[in-house]
Amino acid sequence: MKKELIKKKNLFILLACAITATTIGLAIPKHSIALSGSRISNTPIRVYTKQGNDWFLAIAERTDGNGVLKVKDVLPGKYKMEVSRSDKRTNQSLAVNLKMLDKQGRKIRKKMDVDLYIYINDNKVFIGTVQTDEDGWLKLSGLSLGSKYLLDIGSGSYIHKKYGELRIKTKTKIDNSDWFQSSYERTKNNVLEEINVLPGKYKFRAVNKPAGQSFILHIRLLNKKGKKARNSKVKIYAYINNTKKIIGEVQTDNDGWVSLPGVLTGMTYKIRVLN
């Protein structure tokens, strides 16, 4: 009898959420090969993510002429997409083309299932399971601006060993977020390359290696507004004996790229974009 009551309660919640979604006109996302948004072409989008307790601005990017937002190296987690008040339209929906990472921050080398949820009145509602392609790209259309979504994906990729290269796990802290693993990648010619790197704190661990391994960090930085930090001054700090010390000031190129030599595993760094 108790189990039946629980089932009825869960069914009631799902029905209420579905009715609410229909009433307020939420777009329900769906997997799509031919991607297109609705009334949102060439529009700036602010993408927020939540890692731990706090939301932060992850990237600000413009959709293409078909209303599609394309973003690389997207971690599983909670997301919401917003536009400015002047860009809001009725019957507006967004399409996305996301190059996903797995839960460990590793690049995906095969098709993987992604469970998709939407939050309605703070209730997490399962929408369905969609699949990436062999390179980790996930295509979705019909996303509603301002709604909160959860992308849940397992871990199935593997970083093979290669002689002379480091396998590095990167942990990140943005503003007041918790520390979270943002990538798991192997160096190439002793260079670790990352894109869409936000100002924040970073620490690196070389898998199966002691702390103190040196490598070159080649990154494309974003500023606090989530846009490419083009021709920007950047201050680099290191925490030595729990004391923050500035170790360098560099400038990004016209596309936001900068190279930082002598980065050590086992040490915590802070990257600050000045302009």
Mean pLDDT in residue range 32-61? 92
**Same domain membership, residue 149 and residue 173:** no
Which of the four pLDDT bands, split at 50, 70 and 90, describes residue 7? very low
**Three-state SS at 232:** coil
**Same domain membership, residue 171 and residue 268:** yes
Residue 274 tokens read as 């000045």
pLDDT computed for residue 252 by the predictor: 98
| Residue 10 CB coordination number (10 Å) | 10
pLDDT tens per residue, range 181-197: 999 999 999 999 999 99
**Same domain membership, residue 146 and residue 42:** yes
| Weakest-pLDDT range from 39-43, 95-99, 155-159, 230-234 | 155-159
**CA dist 28 to 21, 22, 141, 216, Å?**
8, 9, 8, 43
**Same domain membership, residue 202 and residue 132:** no
**Same domain membership, residue 51 and residue 132:** yes
- How many domains are there within the chain? 2
Residue that is last in its domain, among 153, 183, 218: 153
Residue 43 tokens read as 């529009």
Rounded distance between C-alpha atoms, residue 10 and residue 26, angstroms: 21
| Residue 15 CB coordination number (10 Å) | 10
pLDDT computed for residue 28 by the predictor: 60
Rounded distance between C-alpha atoms, residue 24 and residue 21, angstroms: 6
Contact between 211 and 265 (Cβ < 8 Å): yes
pLDDT computed for residue 256 by the predictor: 98
The domain containing residue 81 runs over which residues?
27-153
Rounded distance between C-alpha atoms, residue 53 and residue 39, angstroms: 33
Is pLDDT at 3 greater than 50 in this prediction?
no
Q: Which of 274, 173, 269 is nearest to 224 (CA)?
A: 274
Residue that is last in its domain, among 127, 153, 179: 153
Which of the four pLDDT bands, split at 50, 70 and 90, describes residue 119? very high
Q: How many residues does the chain have?
A: 275
**Same domain membership, residue 31 and residue 149:** yes
pLDDT computed for residue 14 by the predictor: 41
pLDDT tens per residue, range 120-151: 988 999 999 999 999 999 999 999 999 999 99
**CA dist 139 to 32, 58, 107, 125, 196, Å?**
6, 19, 16, 20, 20
Mean pLDDT in residue range 95-120? 95
